[in-house]
Amino acid sequence: MNRDELRQRLEFYQDLGVKTLYRRPTDRTLPPNPQPPTPAVSLPALEPAADSLLKILADIGDCKRCRLSEARHTIVFGSGNEQARLVFVGEGPGADEDQQGLPFVGRAGQLLTQMIEGTASKEGIPIKRTDVYICNVVKCRPPENRTPQPDEMEICGQFLYRQLQAIKPKAICLLGGTAAKAVLNTKESVTGMRGRWHMWRDIQVMVTYHPSYLLRSYNPSAKKEAWEDLKKVLHYVYD
């Protein structure tokens, strides 16, 4: 790894909130009957030349880099316009997404589509869901739809990073706390972050509620707040 690649890697880990890196000891004196070392996770460069979504998908391959691969049916990479000016990032695939290989196709996905197209129509913005790009922090379904664990987000996050860099949208809309934590390296709640702009690299970022939260929320104001967030994003990107 050359100096530029090392710098890119360290900047990425800094964005993820990793503050300490451990170096494997170089002492060649081994104890009797040493255990075989754990295989290192193989990851491509963070910012390869002429990167593209097709190249990122090829680099993911039939990914076995973390435990999420053990129970998944399909890798859910992302879908939409590869030159989109707006990207939505969720947490991870659910059962419907795992079967179909597409993000946000279950009940939460149907609500997200209504939110995008309904808000755009009311605001006079001529876009559909197919005009944006949608993906998740992790590309494999976590068992029982649990929250992805830090090491899983760290590994898959490198491919999300490349997706965002390859698309270079005008804005990113983060759906829920897991997406906010992965992209913005924050522990702040969605309630505290929503409604105002944040920054990732040189891209404007809006945090709002995940559609699955809106489906089960007993907070009647949450859905209205999410629509307001989305309205702000759409006007910023498409006006």
Q: What is the pLDDT of residue 226?
A: 96
Q: What is the 3-state secondary structure (H, E, C) of the chain?
A: CCHHHHHHHHHHHHHCCCCCCCCCCCCCCCCCCCCCCCCCCCCCCCCCCCCCHHHHHHHHCCCCCCHHHHCCCCCCCCEECCCCCEEEEECCCCHHHHHHCCCCCCHHHHHHHHHHHHHHHHCCCCCCHHHCEEEECCCCCCHHHCCCCHHHHHHHHHHHHHHHHHHCCCEEEEECHHHHHHHHCCCCCHHHHCCCEEEECCEEEEEECCHHHHHHCCCHHHHHHHHHHHHHHHHHHHC
Q: Does domain 50-238 have CATH number 3.40.470.10?
A: yes
pTM of the model as a whole: 0.83
Q: What is the pLDDT of residue 219?
A: 77
Q: What is the pLDDT of residue 11?
A: 65
- Look over the chain and give the mean of its residue pLDDT values, rounded to a whole number: 87
Q: What is the pLDDT of residue 216?
A: 86
Q: What is the arithmetic mean of pLDDT over 31-48?
A: 56
The model's pLDDT over 119-132, given as tens digits with 9 standing for 90+, comes to 999 999 999 999 99
Tell me: pLDDT of 134 over 90: yes
Q: What is the pLDDT of residue 3?
A: 58
Q: Where are the domains of the chain?
A: 50-238
